Amino acid sequence: MKFRILGSVEIWRGGTAATIVGEKQRTLVALLVLRANQLVSHEELLRALWGDAPPASGRRALHNHVWSVRRLLADEGGISTSSGGYSLKVSSRGSDLGVFGAEVTAAHDARAANDLPRAAERLRAALDLWRGPALAGTRLEFQSEQGYALEEARLAALTDRIEVDLALGRHAELVGELRQLVHSAPLRERFRGQLMLALYRDGRRADALEQYRLARRCLRDELGLEPGDELARIHQGILAADPELMTADSAEPSQVRLSPARVVPRQLPADVARFIGREKSLAALDTLLSASHGRPLVISAIAGAGGVGKTALATRWGHLRADRFPDGQLYVNLHGYSYNATITAGEALRQLLRGLGVAVEEIPLNTDERSAMYRSILADKSMLVVLDNAATADQVRPLLPGSSCRAVITSRSSLRGLVATHDVDLVVLDVLQPEEAESLVRAFLREDGQSQESIGELAALCGYLPLALRLAAARLRDSGESIADLVTRLRAGSRLAALEFEEDPHAGIRSTFALSYQTLPATARVVFRAAGLHPGPDISLEALAAMTSQGPDAISQAVALLVRAHLVHCSESHRVSMHDLIREYARELAGDGDGGAEALTRLLGWHAHTARSAMTHVDPDVRLLWPEVKPPTGGPRDFADRDSAMVWLNNEHRNTVSLVAHAAHHGSPVLAWQLAYITAYHCYLAGQLDDWIVSHQTALEAARQVGDLNGEARILTTLAHALLEADRYGEFLDYQRMAVELAAATDDRRMQAEAQFYVAFGLFRTGQLMESLEANALALELYRALDHEPGEIATVYLKGQVYVRLGRMQDALECLHPSLTALRERGRQHDEAHGLLDVATAYLGVGNVKAALESATLALSIARELDDHAVEALALCHLGEVKGRQGLYGEAVQLLQEALVHAKQLRRRLTECKVHNRLGRTSAMLGDHEQARQHFRVAMDLATKIDDTYELEAARAGLA
C-alpha cells in the first residue's frame, strides 16, 4: 500500500492506483496521511471536509466516507477507529511524504558527515517525489491551509540541494535553474543570494552585482525594504573579492547566547478611549486566561474591511489584565494586513529580543537561533505577548512564547494551522452588535437625549462598522447637525457623501477609503472598481480576471494589495468580498470612469459560458444551449470532473442568481433566461428551491419581455420543476402544457418532446395514470423521431413507474431494469439511485424481498457517496419498509425515524409523508394501533396540504 499526496492524492495498491471518488474522500485520505499513525479528531476531519459549517449529519457522512476509503484500502486495520476520531496506519516509507522526509533527513546526515555528493543525491530523490502542487484534488480551502507548509518544505529542500551543489562546484550548471527560480519568486532572497554566488564563482562578477541591484530595486518597489543581512554580506564580499565566497560556508551555527539584562517591557499601545461593548469577547479572553498555561490566544476578524477593532480589543484587554503579567507586556505589529510591508518572523524576533533587553550585537542572524533565544529568555517569566496584525500561521509560530507566558494574536485570518499544532482558541470578532454601535454613538455625543430610533437607524446605515460610526458621531458632534437629518441624507443618497466633511477634505469615510485607494498601483485600482461593480455577494479571482482582462498573476497580486490596504477581504477559498460602504465607494469610482458596462458584459459572458462548461459534467445527457453572449477571450473555465464542476456551481450559486436579475433589468433579457435555464438542474441538486423559483420567475418575465417564445418554453419547463419540488403539482402540469404549445408553435421538436414527457410525469404525480401512459406514448414517439436515446430511456422509466402504481409489478420490472442499466452506463448516479428505489418497490410487489433489500441498500450507498441527503432520506424510508416486510420491526422503526429526521431538516414534505405512512404500518404490525393512527393522521394532513394522491390514499387506508 502506498499513499501519494505530493501532487494529486492517490492510493496505490499492487502497482495500480485505486479510484478515490470525490474531493471529500481525497481530502479525508490526505489529512489522514498528513497525520499518519496519529489520532485525528472528528472535529478536525469535519472541518477539513466541510469547512467551518459542517452539515448536521456530518458525523454520519464522515463515517460513510471512512467506510468507502476502507474499501479502497482492502485492509481492515488500515484505518483504526476510536471514540475521538480515526487514525491511518502508514509505514515509515508508506507515503511519498514519509519518503520525502526520510530522504531529506538522510541528506542532512550525509551533509553533517561531509558527504556532499550523497547529500545532493538524496535531496534530488526527495524533490523527484513531487508531481505537482501538493494535495491536488482536495477541497480548495484544505489545499490552502495544509499545502502552504508542504510547499515551504519543498522549497527548503530545493534551497538545500542548490546549496550543496554550490559547495560541490556545480555553479555553472545552476545559473539557469536559479534564474528561473528568481523570476518566479523575486522576493525570496535566498534564491537571489545563491544566484549571485553561482555567477560570482563562474567568473561573472558583473552579472552577480547586477543581480543585487535588481534585488534591491524589487524589494524597495514591492515592500519598501532594503535587502537582508545575508544578501548584503554576499554583495560586500563580491565587491571586496572575498576569497571565502569561493567556498561553501561550513561554520557551525552559533550557540544561543542569553542577555543577562533585566528588563520589564511595557510596550502595549495607549488604552482605547471610549471603548464600547465587546463584553462577550473580553469575557472569552478572561476564560481563556484562566485555563491551563501554554495556550496562545487568537482574535480573528471575519470578512470585512479594516477598522473592525481587533487591535483595540487586544489593547483594551491587555491593559485591563496587566496585573496578571508581572514580567511585562511585549507588542509587535506584524503588518500582515496593511499597506506597510509585512514583518518577517526574523525581524519580529529582533524587535522582541530588543524589547527584552538583548543587545543588537548579541542577536543571532539566523531566525531559528533568534527563536530559541527568545523562548529561553521567556522560559521562567509570566508575560503577555501581543502579536498584532498577523498574516499567516508560519509568520506567528516562531514568535510564540513558552509555557509560562501568553500570546494574543490579532489577524484577519483564523490561522487554523495553529489550532492543530498549538491548541489555539479562537475569539471571532465581527462588526459591533446594534446595541453596542448605538452606545458608541452616544458616547461620542456625550448625551442620551437623542431619538433611540434615529440612533439605531444611523448605526445600521453605517454597517455597525466602528470606523464609520466614529466618523458619523464626530460629524454630528462637530457640525451640530441632528441625527434625524443625517439619517435622512444617508437614506436618500450616497452614504459616503453624507459622511464627508467639507471643511476638512482629509476627513470623512470616503476620504479614509481614498487614502488607501490612492496608494494602489493602476492594476489594483482597476480590480477594486471591478469588484465593486459585481452584483453578487462575492467574486472569484477568475471572474475579476474576466472583468478586467488581466492575467491570473496580476489579479492575485492586485487582490493581495487590496487585502493589505483593508479595502477587500479575500477568503481562504480565494473569493473577494467587501463591506457595504466600501462597495459603495468602489461603485462610485467605477461610475466616474469608462469601461464599467464593458466589464459587466465580459463578466456575464465568462459566467454564462463557464456555467455551461460546468453543467456539461453535472448533466451530460441534457442539450445545453450556447449563451448568446461573447465568450471570454481565453475561453471559459474547464473542469476535470463532476466534483470540481459542482464546487464551482455551489460557490457561484448566489452570484448566478444575482447575475440573472442584473441581466434581466439591465439590457440583457435573453442572457437572463439562458443563464437561468443552463443552471436549473444545479438548483435542483443543491436544494436551492427558493432561489430557483425567484430566478426563473425573473427569467420568464425577461423571455416574455422580448417575445422570445423559445426561451419562454424552456423556462416554463424548468420553472415548473421548481414548483413541483414545492409540491405545487397543478401548476407544474399547467406550465408543462403551455411549454408543449409554445414548442409546437416554434417547431422546436426537441423541446416539444421534453415538455410532453413532463406532462406525462405530471399526470403520473397527480394520480391520472392512464392519461399519463397516453401522454408518455406521445413523448416516446417524438423522441424516437428525433433518435434521442436519453429521452426514450426516460419515457420507458416513467412507464415502469406508472406500472408500479397500477400494481403491474412484473411489467414494471421489465421497464425499470433496462432503464436502470442505461442510467448506470451513462454515469447518472443520482438518477440511478432513484431508479433503484423504484425497482425495490417493484421487487416487494412480486415478493422478492432479498432483491428489494439489495436495491435499496445500493441506493443508500450511492446517496451517501454523492452526499445527497434528500435521496438518502428516501433510501432509508425504502429500507425501513423492506425491514418491516422481513419482520425486523425494530430495525425498520430505527431506519424510518432516521429518514424522518432528514426529511424534516430538508423540508421535504412528500418524503416526510411517505415516512409517516410507513411508520404507521410498522406500528400497526407491532400492535401499537394508537401510535399507528397518529402517524397516519400526520401523513393525511401532509398529503392533503401537498395534494399527493398516492400518500393520501395510503393514509386513508391505514386509518380505515
Residue pair 164/52 in contact by the 8 Å Cβ criterion: no
Residue pair 840/859 in contact by the 8 Å Cβ criterion: yes
Q: Is the pLDDT of residue 897 over 70?
A: yes
Q: Give the pLDDT band of residue 413 (cuts 50, 70, 90).
A: low
How many other C-beta atoms are found inside a 10 Å radius of the C-beta of residue 378? 21
Alpha helix locations (H) across 826-908? 829-845, 849-866, 869-885, 889-906
pLDDT for the residue numbered 623: 65
Q: Taking residues 380-405, what's their average pLDDT?
A: 81
Among the listed residues 60, 78, 59, 57, the one whose alpha carbon sits nearest the alpha carbon of residue 69: 78
φ and ψ of 840, to 5 deg: -60, -40
How many other C-beta atoms are found inside a 10 Å radius of the C-beta of residue 87? 18
How many other C-beta atoms are found inside a 10 Å radius of the C-beta of residue 525? 19
Q: How does DSSP classify residue 631?
A: P
Q: Taking residues 304-314, what's their average pLDDT?
A: 65
pLDDT for the residue numbered 388: 86
Q: Taking residues 713-725, what's their average pLDDT?
A: 91
Q: What is the pLDDT of residues 675-698, one digit of tens each?
A: 999 999 899 888 788 889 999 999
pTM listed for this prediction: 0.51
Residue pair 150/6 in contact by the 8 Å Cβ criterion: yes
φ and ψ of 132, to 5 deg: 145, -170
Q: Is the pLDDT of residue 304 over 50?
A: no
Q: Taking residues 321-339, what's their average pLDDT?
A: 78
Rounded to 10 deg, the angle between the 189-201 and 140-167 helix axes is 20
Q: Is the pLDDT of residue 504 over 50?
A: no
Q: What is the pLDDT of residues 736-751, one digit of tens each?
A: 999 999 999 999 999 9
Q: Is 456 exposed, middle or buried (0-12, 13-18, 19+ CB in 10 A)?
A: middle
pLDDT for the residue numbered 339: 40
pLDDT for the residue numbered 912: 92
Q: Give the pLDDT band of residue 573 (cuts 50, 70, 90).
A: confident
Q: Report CA 816 to chain centroid distance, whole Å.
A: 39
The DSSP code sequence of 282-330 is HHHHHHHHTS-SS--EEEEE-SS-S-S-HHHHHHHHHHHTGGG-TT-EE
Query: Mean pLDDT lowest for which of 128-142, 476-490, 872-886?
Result: 476-490
Residue pair 904/937 in contact by the 8 Å Cβ criterion: no
Residue pair 657/650 in contact by the 8 Å Cβ criterion: no
Q: Give the pLDDT band of residue 856 (cuts 50, 70, 90).
A: very high
Cα 115 from Cα 126, distance rounded (Å): 17
Q: Is the pLDDT of residue 603 over 90?
A: yes
pLDDT for the residue numbered 569: 78
Q: Which amino acid is it at 658?
A: S
Residue 954: HSE in the Cβ half-sphere, 13 Å Cα cutoff: 23
pLDDT for the residue numbered 31: 92
pLDDT for the residue numbered 281: 79
Among the listed residues 387, 371, 384, 385, the one whose alpha carbon sits nearest the alpha carbon of residue 300: 387
Q: Report the run of H or E that residue 721 belongs to, with start and end.
A: helix 709-725
Residue pair 303/463 in contact by the 8 Å Cβ criterion: no
Among the listed residues 903, 901, 857, the one whose alpha carbon sits nearest the alpha carbon of residue 878: 857
Q: Taking residues 205-217, what's their average pLDDT?
A: 88
Sheet of 539-540, strand order: 539-540, 575-577, 569-570
pLDDT for the residue numbered 30: 93
Q: What is the pLDDT of residues 239-280, one digit of tens each?
A: 877 777 876 543 333 333 333 345 578 888 777 767 777 788
pLDDT for the residue numbered 622: 64
Average pLDDT value over all residues in the chain: 82
- Higher-scoring residue by pLDDT: 593, 31: 31
pLDDT for the residue numbered 446: 62
